[in-house]
Amino acid sequence: MPDKILVTGATGNVGGEVLKQLAGLRVSVRALVRNRTKAAAIEGPDVEIVEGDMSKPSTLAPALDGVRKLLLLSSPDPGQAALQNGVIDAAKRAGVRHIVKVSAMGAAPDAPMSFGRWHAEIERYLEQSGVPFTILRPNFFMQNMLMSAGTIVAEGKFYGSMKDGKASFVDARDIAAVAAHALAGSGHEGKSYQITGPEALSFADVARKLAAALKKPVSYVDIPREPLIQAMTGAGMPDWQARAIAELYDWGSQGGFAEVTDVVAKIGKKQPITFDQFASDVAGAFERTTTAR
């Protein structure tokens, strides 16, 4: 009987792709969702859907029953460490033999970014749990550019505060490929993988590539940190999230996200998706009929 794998964060960009790729590898996979009625996009004959909530530990034991491997993934949140550490505890009690955690590039106890410190806290807890583990540290998701679809459609512009800093943007599909092979394969225990795209790009580079794919002018506008935070919170983003994103830009402007690795090719067993290919794939999201996000 093959090991059953539980995927948390199953309705997100990465989690949903991991489900597809694990199903393609013909492994037994289960998806944890908070509300089954909202999981239509991940329904399929090869995916078992179970309801559970990280914030309600009593719901995790049934979801983990019979599970031997776990993808640990959840949305960024100031309470992320408590939520994921609770899942680690539940997984240990259930006899899970391998946890693959999706962390973030730059994760460290003294990271200048909140996201990095939160992930480092979880990494440390996982390492001390005694459960065999693999850490995945992806760079900026290419899919994050979709958050700028509104201003690109309306103005032909997107905004940030990363100056000329470069980042090796990675497609969520490539992160999922690495995660799927780490879960379905062997020999990944105790290892950490930095997951990047094939090239480091500035936001000005990204603008040029989007312009080529969309066949319309697109430019990047760099603005000071505080006005950027005010713009994000003014659009409805929570203050903690706006400040955390500004911290990422601060670190990126200093070259913190420019590293390029071959992890997608070596571990994910595929050539990494270029930003040009990503832009072509999602060009329809930037058409004038798109609703601002």
Mean pLDDT of the chain: 94
Secondary structure element (H or E) that encloses residue 275, with its range:
helix 275-281
* pLDDT score at 44: 77
Prediction pTM value: 0.94
What is the CATH number that goes with domain 143-167+198-257+273-286?
Answer: 3.90.25.10
Q: Report the pLDDT value the prediction gives residue 2, as an integer from 0 to 100.
A: 64
Closest CA to 141 of 286, 269, 8, 17: 17
pLDDT digit string, tens, across residues 168-190: 999 999 999 999 999 999 999 99
Residue range 103-132, pLDDT digits in tens:
999 999 999 999 999 999 999 999 999 999
Tell the burial category of 63 from Cβ atoms under 10 Å away from its Cβ (0-12, 13-18, 19+).
Answer: buried
Query: Higher-confidence residue: 291 or 137?
Result: 137
* pLDDT, tens only, 135-149: 999 999 999 999 999
Asked if domains 4-141+170-195 and 143-167+198-257+273-286 share a fold, the reply is: no
Distance, CA of 194 to CA of 67 (rounded, Å):
26
pLDDT band at 57 (very low <50, low <70, confident <90, very high): confident
Q: What is the pLDDT of residues 5-25, one digit of tens each?
A: 999 999 888 999 999 999 888
Contact between residue 72 and residue 19 where contact means Cβ atoms under 8 Å apart:
no
Q: How far apart are CA 182 and CA 134, in angstroms?
A: 8
Q: Residue 289: is its pLDDT beyond 50?
A: no
The listed CATH number (3.40.50.720, 3.30.930.10, 3.40.50.1400, 3.30.413.10) that belongs to domain 4-141+170-195: 3.40.50.720
CA 11, 16, 17 angle in degrees (round to 5)? 160
Q: Quick check: 292 pLDDT over 70?
A: no
SS3 content of the chain, % helix, strand, coil (to 5): 45, 20, 35
Q: What is the pLDDT of residues 226-260, one digit of tens each?
A: 999 999 999 999 999 999 999 999 999 999 999 99
Domain-by-domain residue ranges, the chain?
Answer: 4-141+170-195, 143-167+198-257+273-286
Predicted pLDDT at 288: 63
Q: How far apart are CA 218 and CA 212, in angstroms?
A: 9
What pLDDT shows up at residue 253? 97
Residues 177 and 264 sit within 8 Å (Cβ to Cβ): yes
Is residue 6 within a helix (H) or strand (E), and if so which, with residue range?
strand 4-7
> How high is the pLDDT of residue 290?
41
Given this model, what pLDDT does residue 28 score? 86
What CA–CA distance (Å, rounded) separates 239 from 244?
8
